[in-house]
């Protein structure tokens, strides 16, 4: 779970959400419960997780929320009598998950924990995308080097460089669907050199 994650509840009837703050505060969440009004949508991009309980106008609200905060996950709270077609429609419209009222707190906990885990994964992936190759390698190698430094005769440079090269070749070959000419161009090396390395690292299969 992301630390200090903020949850926004937009609801026509705030009464059913009164206990949510007390339930989720010990778990590290900050919960704000507000009346569902369009004016609220302008500032919702600071919330990664949104509960929307506005059954009469959910279509317009969900569309506007996804426009204002495309990376936020929206959990819909629908009336108990809502049909399966309505549930499917909300998912197609961009909702992360649907719950029916009255809310089951345990089910809500599980749903929010799963959504929080997904948000954390997405944030980590975004950070990785923003890293340079050097930063990425350093972040991955730091722990490994520390563990390996006490092993004698490891030949650390040779070991690390060969594993990095092997992984790079394997990834590029997969991206190229096994086409060595295309892979060689992507790597910026001669095709014969690539073939030698494929044999050296036993990447034929």
Query: How many Cβ atoms from other residues are within 10 Å of residue 107's Cβ?
Result: 11
Judgement on whether residues 29 and 115 belong to the same structural domain of the protein: yes
Q: Is the pLDDT of residue 59 over 70?
A: yes
Query: How many Cβ atoms from other residues are within 10 Å of residue 96's Cβ?
Result: 18
Distance in angstroms (rounded) separating the CA atoms of residues 173 and 186: 10
User: Sign (positive/negative) of CA torsion 29, 31, 37, 41?
Assistant: negative
Write the CATH number for 65.
Answer: 3.40.50.2300
Query: Residue 102's domain spans which residues?
Result: 5-130
What's the pTM?
0.61
184 assigned to some structural domain: yes
Q: Of the segments 15-19, 44-48, 85-89, 116-120, which one has the largest average pLDDT value?
A: 85-89
Tens of pLDDT along 112-150?
999 988 888 888 778 777 777 777 788 778 777 777 767
The closest alpha carbon to 76, from 65, 66, 87, belongs to 87
19 assigned to some structural domain: yes
Model confidence at 1, in pLDDT bands (50, 70, 90)? very low
Is the distance from CB of 74 to CB of 50 less than 8 angstroms? yes
Write the CATH number for 191.
Answer: 1.10.10.60
Please provide residue 112's backbone torsions phi and psi, each rounded to the nearest 5 degrees: -70, -35
Judgement on whether residues 125 and 139 belong to the same structural domain of the protein: no
* Residue spans of beta strands (DSSP E) within the chain: 5-11, 29-35, 49-53, 73-78, 97-100
Judgement on whether residues 140 and 69 belong to the same structural domain of the protein: no
Average pLDDT over residues 69-96: 91
Tens of pLDDT along 6-39?
899 988 888 878 788 888 888 888 888 888 776 6
Is the distance from CB of 84 to CB of 98 less than 8 angstroms? no
Q: Is the pLDDT of residue 3 over 70?
A: no
């Amino acid at each position: 779970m992301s630390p200090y994650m903020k949850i926004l509840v937009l609801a026509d009837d705030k009464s059913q959400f009164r206990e949510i703050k007390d339930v989720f505060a010990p778990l590290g969440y900050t919960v704000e419960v507000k009346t569902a009004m369009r004016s609220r949508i302008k500032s919702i991009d600071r919330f990664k997780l949104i509960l929307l309980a506005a059954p009469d106008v959910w279509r317009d609200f969900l569309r506007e929320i996804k426009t204002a905060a495309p990376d936020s996950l929206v959990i819909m709270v629908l009336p108990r009598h809502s049909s399966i077609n309505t549930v499917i429609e909300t998912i197609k419209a961009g909702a992360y998950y649907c719950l029916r009222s009255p809310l089951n707190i345990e089910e809500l906990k599980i749903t929010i924990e799963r959504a929080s885990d997904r948000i954390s994964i997405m944030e980590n992936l975004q950070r990785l995308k923003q890293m340079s190759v050097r930063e990425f390698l350093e972040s991955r190698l730091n722990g490994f080097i520390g563990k390996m430094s006490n092993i004698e005769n490891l030949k650390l440079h040779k070991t690390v460089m060969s594993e990095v090269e092997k992984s790079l070749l394997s990834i590029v070959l997969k991206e190229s669907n096994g086409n060595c000419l295309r892979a060689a161009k992507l790597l910026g090396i001669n095709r014969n050199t690539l073939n030698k390395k494929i044999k050296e690292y036993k990447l034929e299969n």
